[in-house]
Amino acid sequence: MASFVIEGGCRMSGEIIPQGAKNEALQVICAVLLTPEKVTIANVPDILDVNNLIQLLRDMQVKVERLSLDTYAFQADNVDLDYLKTEDFVRKSASLRGSVMIVGPLLARFGKAVLPKPGGDKIGRRRLDTHFTGIQKLGATFTYNQDAQLYEIEAKRLKGAYMLLDEASVTGTANILMAAVLAEGTTTIYNAACEPYLQQLSKMLIQMGADISGVGSNLLTIQGVESLKGANHLILPDMIEVGSFIGMAAMTGSDITIKNTGFDMLGIIPESFRRLGITVEQQGDDIHIPTHDSYEIDTFIDGSIMTIADAPWPGLTPDLLSVFLVVATQAVGSVLIHQKMFESRLFFVDKLIDMGAQIILCDPHRATVIGLGNRYKLRGATMVSPDIRAGIALLIAAMSAEGTSRIHNIDQIDRGYQNIDKRLNSIGARITRL
Ligand SMILES: CC(=O)N[C@H]1[C@@H](OP(=O)(O)OP(=O)(O)OC[C@H]2O[C@@H](n3ccc(=O)[nH]c3=O)[C@H](O)[C@@H]2O)O[C@H](CO)[C@@H](O)[C@@H]1O
Ligand SMILES: C=C(OP(=O)(O)O)C(=O)O
């Protein structure tokens, strides 16, 4: 497994362009299975998860053409459904979470799909109930094949239905939506997730001929259509990467401009960083983070310690809480980080404590951070990245620390951040990939 060696204390300056959004890419690439026509997708991030999904489609005989570094044309006019029965398919599906979202499109278009255990971060229970119940409501049957360890799913023709999701699952909503666009009649999805990823997926599906209303809300109404056509789609900048750069800049005392951030789609993210005391200057669609010698965490209006907690969109994405946590370690003041959605995403704080951070892990979901302000710097350390977002948080810690750090298992970072070492080194970081 590759590692990063990071020389701490280097300030960055200059401009950085965020990659395309990982979680949107995973959705819209699955959606190409809904039509035999050509779908062209631009701003596709060159990251492990996305490349693994594209390979999975290639293995299913989807024609994939790389038109430029970040633009692909897909044509699913001759899909090999037998591939879904192979061990190779099961193994590859387990390498990423996004693979679960081929079920909706396959079922809608071909009446059958299989669902092996998907991959993704090991950050606590990651149940698929919402996917199952939603797709069952559309009339599909699930049969567990013990030998192959996968579900076989069938439906002659999906039928629209009303459903109130048990939770606003991101990939669950995408899967059900992609199934419903070709179902017969009307589907209503209440308590739908409405992250920008889903708004963008809906936008692409509408361009393909789907009839969807309520986009951006938690109530989606879909009138099924007979077939869908090709489309051209542009993926938004990755809001998690934008947030990671904001935190990284503040904590390393860097002066950077994050270009083309898709600011209007960042929701509560910029304001949440401002509440940590970070100056986030909007300049058109760019974000400028000036050099911070210190930043002070806000309190609630009554003076009590602030909580930063995740919530379904338009609440704060759980994928940035690790970044908020690490950035708070060098702030003036205290904050409670409450990761409500996942129960194993905060254990990486042990590594930060080893580096000198003052953190009390209250329970698997909550950590209190007592900011060190300018009093002490973190110390360099050797660490292993447990998941993608803990990985970037540890990288930020290492970049701000005194001395040299090593992070092992950086595949976990590469899963979601494109050429991160090269891009950061080009504006002044010192990261070596071994
Ligand atoms: C490939 C992809 O797109 N992955 C994202 C997707 O994963 P994914 O779609 O797998 O995550 P879900 O939205 O299904 O749920 C995530 C977790 O949050 C819990 N939950 C969810 C909704 C809710 O209202 N209450 C609640 O507690 C679930 O029980 C689960 O433990 O969404 C997550 C939540 O934003 C992100 O962390 C992942 O990066
Ligand atoms: C948890 C994440 O990804 P995945 O769902 O692919 O594991 C993430 O992107 O932070």
C-alpha pair distances (Å), 214 with each of 206, 221, 313: 12, 6, 15
What is the whole-number distance in angstroms between the Cα of residue 193 and the centre of ligand 1?
9
Same domain, 10 and 55: no
The predicted pLDDT at position 126 comes to 82
Token pair for 6: 């990071």
CATH number for the domain harbouring residue 284:
3.65.10.10
Domain extent for 80: 22-234
Count of domains for the chain: 2
Which member of 121, 238, 387, 414 is catalytic? 121
Q: Does the annotation place 109 within a ligand binding site? A: no
Q: Does the annotation place 145 within a ligand binding site? A: no
Would residue 293 show up in a list of annotated catalytic residues for this protein? Answer: no
Same domain, 302 and 419: yes
Mutate to test the pocket of ligand 2, among 29, 51, 121, 323 (most ligand atoms within 8 A of CB): 121
Report whether 23 contacts 193 (CB < 8 A). Answer: no
Residue nearest to atom 39 of ligand 1 (CA): 319
What is the whole-number distance in angstroms between the Cα of residue 311 and the centre of ligand 2?
15
Boundary (domain end) residue, out of 185, 215, 234:
234
Residue 77 CA to chain centroid, in angstroms? 29
Same domain, 211 and 242: no
Q: Does the annotation place 23 within a ligand binding site? A: yes
Residue nearest to atom 4 of ligand 2 (CA): 120
The predicted pLDDT at position 119 comes to 74
Same domain, 164 and 127: yes
Same domain, 279 and 130: no
Spatial neighbors of 363 by CB under 8 A, at least 6 apart, are none
For every one of its 434 residues, what pLDDT tens digit does the chain have, with 9 covering 90 and above? 899 999 999 999 999 999 999 999 999 999 999 999 999 999 999 999 999 999 999 999 999 999 999 999 999 999 999 999 898 998 888 888 888 999 999 999 999 999 888 777 777 778 899 999 999 999 999 999 888 888 999 998 999 999 999 999 999 999 999 999 999 999 999 999 999 999 999 999 999 999 999 999 999 999 999 999 999 999 999 999 999 999 999 999 999 999 999 999 999 999 999 999 999 999 999 999 999 999 999 999 999 999 999 999 999 999 999 999 999 999 999 999 999 999 889 999 999 999 999 999 999 999 999 999 978 999 999 999 999 999 999 999 999 999 999 999 999 999 999 999 999 999 999 999 99
Boundary (domain end) residue, out of 234, 265, 285:
234
Same domain, 230 and 242: no
Same domain, 243 and 389: yes
What is the whole-number distance in angstroms between the Cα of residue 345 and the centre of ligand 1?
12
The predicted pLDDT at position 194 comes to 98
The ligand with the least distance to the CA atom of 167 is 1
Same domain, 71 and 98: yes
Q: Does the annotation place 383 within a ligand binding site? A: no
What is the whole-number distance in angstroms between the Cα of residue 388 and the centre of ligand 2?
7
The predicted pLDDT at position 85 comes to 87
Same domain, 13 and 32: no
Same domain, 226 and 213: yes
**145 vs 85: CA distance, rounded Å:** 11
The predicted pLDDT at position 102 comes to 96
**412 vs 39: CA distance, rounded Å:** 29
* Ligand 2 environment, Cβ below 6 A: 22-23, 49, 97, 120-121, 319, 388-389, 416
Token pair for 251: 């904590």
* Ligand 1 environment, Cβ below 6 A: 23, 26, 97-98, 125-126, 167-172, 193, 312, 317-319, 341-342
The predicted pLDDT at position 124 comes to 78
Residue nearest to atom 10 of ligand 2 (CA): 319
* Secondary structure (H, E, C), 354-407: HCCCEEEEEECCEEEEECCCCCCCCECCEEECCCHHHHHHHHHHHHHCECEEEE
Q: Does the annotation place 319 within a ligand binding site? A: yes
Boundary (domain end) residue, out of 234, 253, 283:
234
**197 vs 368: CA distance, rounded Å:** 30
Atom of ligand 2 nearest to the CA of 26: 6
Same domain, 204 and 267: no
Q: CA nearest 25: which of 101, 92, 134, 135?
A: 101
> Is the whole model's pTM more than 0.95, yes or no?
yes
Same domain, 260 and 360: yes
C-alpha pair distances (Å), 287 with each of 16, 43, 87, 405: 10, 19, 46, 29
